[in-house]
Structure 1
Amino acid sequence: MRGVPLSVRGGGCAARGGWPVRVARLVLACALAATCALVPLTAFADDEGENRVNPQQRPDSSFIYDTSIDALGEADAYYDNQTVQVVGEVVGDNIRSGVSGRFRWITLAAVEKDSTSTVSVFMTAEQAAKIDTYGKYGTTGAKLQVRGTFHLVCPEHEGLTDLHADIVSVVEKGRHHEDVFDANELVPGAVLVAVGLALMGVFYFLRERQR
Structure 2
Amino acid sequence: MGWMLIALALAVSLAAAFSPLSAFADDDENLVNPQQRPDSSFIYDTSIAALGEADAYYDNQTVQVVGEVVGDSIREGVDGRHRWITLMAIEKGVDATVSVYMTAEQAAKIDTYGKYGTTGTKLQVRGTFHLVCSEHEGLTDLHADIVTVVEKGKLHEDAFDAGAFVPGAVAVAVGLVLLGVFYYLRERQR
8 Å CA contact 1:63–1:84 kept in 2: the answer is: no
The Cα offsets for residues 106-162 of structure 1, whole Å up to 9 and x where unpaired, read as: 000111222211100001111111000001121110000101100000010000000
Question: What is aligned with 2:4?
Answer: none
TM-score normalized with structure 1 length: 0.68
Distance 1:98 1:132 in 2: 22
C-alpha contact 1:133 1:142 (8 A) present in aligned 2 = yes
Q: Distance in 1 between matches of 2:52 and 2:187?
A: 66
Structure 1 position 205 matched with structure 2 position 184: yes
Q: Deviations over 1:26-78 (max 9, x none)?
A: xxxxxxxxxxxxxxxxxxxxxxxxxxxxxxxxxxxx96511111111111111
Matched residue count: 150
Give the AA of the match of 1:77: A
Q: Does the aligned pair in 2 maintain the 1:97–1:104 contact within 8 Å?
A: yes
Match of 1:114?
A: 93
The 8 Å contact of residues 89 and 109 in structure 1, kept in 2 or not, is answered as: yes
Computing the radius of gyration from Cα coordinates, the structure with the larger value is 1
Using the TM superposition, give the Cα deviation of residue 163 of structure 1 relative to its aligned residue in structure 2, in angstroms: 0.2
Give the distance between the partners of 1:188 and 1:122, measured in 2 at CA: 48
Taking the aligned partners of 1:112 and 1:189, their CA distance within structure 2 comes to 37
2:45 to 48, 54, 66: 66
The answer as to 2:126 corresponding to 1:147 is yes
Task: List 4+ stretches of structure 1 deviating above 2 A.
Answer: none
SS state of the match for residue 91, structure 1?
Answer: strand
Q: Aligned AA for 2:169?
A: A
Q: State the partner residue of 1:54.
A: none
**Equivalent of 2:148, from 160, 169, 191?**
169
- Assess if the C-alpha contact under 8 Å between 1:144 and 1:168 holds in 2: yes
SS in 2 for 1:153: coil
Q: Describe the SS at the equivalent of 2:57.
A: helix
C-alpha separation in 2, matches of 1:199 and 1:183 = 25
Q: Report how far residue 187 of structure 1 moved.
A: 1.0
Equivalent runs, 1:128-147 vs 2, <5 Å: 128-147=107-126
The residue number in structure 2 matching 1:104 is 83
Secondary structure in 2 matching 1:71? helix
Structure (1 or 2) with the greater helix fraction: 1
Q: Identity of aligned pairs, percent? A: 83
Given that 1:63 and 1:82 are in contact with CA atoms closer than 8 Å, whether structure 2 keeps it comes out as: no
Specify which of 187, 194, 204 is matched with residue 173 of structure 2.
Answer: 194
List alignment gaps of at least 5 residues for structure 2: 1-40
Q: Aligned pair 1:156/2:135, yes or no?
A: yes
Deviation at 1:201, TM superposition (A): 1.3
Q: Give the distance between the partners of 1:179 and 1:201, measured in 2 at CA.
A: 37
RMSD over equivalenced CA pairs, Å: 1.4
Q: Which SS does the other structure have where 2:137 is aligned?
A: coil
3-state SS, counterpart of residue 157 of structure 1:
coil
Unaligned regions of 5+ residues in structure 1, if any? Answer: 1-61
